[in-house]
Amino acid sequence: MKRNINQLAFFCLTLALLVSCHKYPIDEDGLLITDRSECYVSNFELLGSDFRTVRTKGAEIDTVAQTIEVEVFFGTDLKNLYPQFSLITDAKLEPKIEGKVDFSDLDNPRRWTVVSGNRKVRKEYTVYVTVE
């Protein structure tokens, strides 16, 4: 029994050593760079300061036109919203969202760029907010 445990421990250490020696490329954010070239938003949520949705219905995402249209409830504080993007695997969003976002200037919609896992494809999405 002790021999089996020692063999298993040796195998695990050897495997860990092999994996740790392999260099995976990472980007400036410490994220893994992959071979994926897909680049799109699959879901979008807009939360108020209480972290509850302010959408009246599901956001309309057009991956061809690269637009997101979302309607919010009347009276929503447009200066203090938290957008949440769901992206294809390995993609990332620029600029990063690090807190509240001001959507109050409805004539100038906000824009974010989705960057593919291989960091070669970039698609700018425009978020249009309308009030109920």
Write out pLDDT tens, residues 1-12: 556 666 666 665
pLDDT for 1 equals: 59
Please give the CATH topology (third level) of the domain spanning 25-131: Immunoglobulin-like (2.60.40)
| Cα–Cα distance measured from residue 54 to residue 52, given in angstroms and rounded to the nearest whole number | 6
Q: Which residues contact 45 (CB under 8 A, 6 or more apart)?
A: 53, 55, 59, 83, 84, 86
pLDDT for 28 equals: 85
Q: Spell out the domain ranges in the chain.
A: 25-131
Consecutive sets of 10 residues in the chain, 132 residues long: mean pLDDT of each? 64 56 74 92 96 96 97 96 95 94 96 96 98 95
pLDDT for 26 equals: 84
Question: What is each CA distance from 94 to 1, 76, 110, 111, in whole angstroms?
Answer: 54, 25, 12, 9
pLDDT for 32 equals: 87
